[in-house]
Amino acid sequence: KKTDLSRILIQTYGTDIFRKRVDEDWWVNKLKDKVIQSPEQVVIITDCRYPNEIEHMFADEFDTITIRIDRTINSNKDIHKHDSEISLDDFNEWDYRVDNNSTVKGLKESAFTIAEDIIFNRMLESSYDFGLIDGISINEREVLKQLI
C-alpha cells in the first residue's frame, strides 16, 4: 500500500532527480524503448504524469488512447500538490474520464465500459490483427466483464 512517505520518495526520485536533473524525457524514453521492443500489438501504460509523456506517444505515431482518473477524495494533502500529481490537470484531450470518488464496484463498471468500447468499437475498426478479439461474441463479452 502506498504511504505518504513512499509517495514522497517516488516523487523525489522520479521527478526531482531524473526529470529535473537528468532529462525530462528520461521516463518516457525508457517506456518507448520497452513498447518498441515488445512483441505485443497492444500495450497498456497505466500511468503518465506529464504532458510530454503523452505528447511523445502521439508524436511517435503510436495509437494512443488516454484515460483520466479523477479522484478528489484526500486530494487536499500537500503531497497531492506535487508537479507529478497536478501537471495533467489542464490537459483536455482525454478520450475517457473516470470518476473515482465512488465505490470499487463503480470503478469496475467504468473500467468495463471503457474496455468494452475500446475493444469492440475502436480496435475492431482499426487495421490491427487482434486474433482472439476478431469476431468476439456476446459470451466472450461476459468473460471480459469477469476479468475486469
Torsion of CA 9, 15, 18, 19, to 10 degrees: 180
The string of pLDDT tens digits covering residues 46-86 is 888 888 888 888 877 778 888 998 887 666 566 677 777 88
Under 8 Å between Cβ of 66 and 94: yes
SS3 for 3?
A: coil
- pLDDT value for 96: 93
Neighbour-count burial of 80, counting CB atoms closer than 10 A to its CB (0-12 exposed, 13-18 middle, 19+ buried): middle
Helix, strand, coil shares of the chain as percentages rounded to 5? 55, 5, 40
The string of pLDDT tens digits covering residues 80-110 is 777 778 888 888 888 999 988 889 999 989 9
Under 8 Å between Cβ of 19 and 26: yes
